[in-house]
A and B are shown apart, each in its own frame.
Chain A
Amino acid sequence: GAVVSQHPSRVICKSGTSVKIECRSLDFQATTMFWYRQFPKQSLMLMATSNEGSKATYEQGVEKDKFLINHASLTLSTLTVTSAHPEDSSFYICSARVPGLAEDTQYFGPGTRLTVL
């Protein structure tokens, strides 16, 4: 099946620093990737849609200057949390649409646990 990886799996940083999270499609090319955030015991909330070669589309209420998304290649999208604060601590998960399958099917990465001290 389609494999999506994320790096790092876990990161702890100080308040005010920036953190970059990578999402890679390992065995396919993904023109569209999605970034979600999940707080404890809650569902996944879509943050933004990442499109290869163009600007990301952000959901309402998500600050695009705080959560920078770059989709520079067909296998890599990055999410940078800038000037992170403790309230940004969360589980960040990416997904990718798999070409050739049902257009709506998304496969998810393993997630990145961000803790901001």
Chain B
Amino acid sequence: GESVGLHLPTLSVQEGDNSIINCAYSNSASDYFIWYKQESGKGPQFIIDIRSNMDKRQGQRVTVLLNKTVKHLSLQIAATQPGDSAVYFCAENIRGGSQGNLIFGKGTKLSVKP
């Protein structure tokens, strides 16, 4: 059910700056991680993924870092643009887990100031 008073963590950055969004995951057996971007009123959009045998993966303007020791995942966005404003979710999965179900984190709202 819905939690009263729940609000998303917010990260506010200036246009052109780099953004770092963090995520802590709970299951040490998770071996596949995805970052999704969700704009208001839309479904999540795949950004980048990483497997547990890697600690860094780069895409276009985005980099995902994985630290399995402390179960931490981060998404770095270079030269943040107003179009990057959205809620960002990390998701984890266990290979061979229940039909590939994803477990989503709480989300971080990124707000880009022009």
Q: Which A residues are closer than 8 A to B by beta carbons?
A: 1, 4, 6, 32, 34, 39-46, 49, 51, 57, 87, 91, 93, 95, 97, 102-111, 113
Contacts and interface: CB of A to CB of B under 8 A. Distances in A.
A111 B49 contact: no
Contacts of A46: 101-103
A87 B1 CA distance: 9
A65 B100 CA distance: 24
B28 interface: no
B39 to A, nearest CB: 10
B44 A105 contact: no
B71 interface: no
Nearest to B5: A41
A108 B2 contact: no
Interface residues of B, number: 29
A104 B98 CA distance: 11
Nearest to A32: B99
B contacts with A: majority SS: loop
Contact of B100 (A6, A45, A106): A106
Given A1-B46, A106-B102, 20 more contacts: A6-B43, A34-B101, A42-B2, A42-B3, A42-B6, A43-B105, A43-B107, A102-B32, A102-B49, A103-B95, A103-B100, A104-B93, A104-B100, A105-B34, A106-B46, A108-B43, A108-B44, A108-B45, A108-B46, A110-B43
Nearest to A111: B43
11 contacts: A39-B1, A41-B7, A43-B105, A46-B102, A57-B98, A91-B41, A104-B49, A105-B34, A108-B46, A110-B42, A111-B42
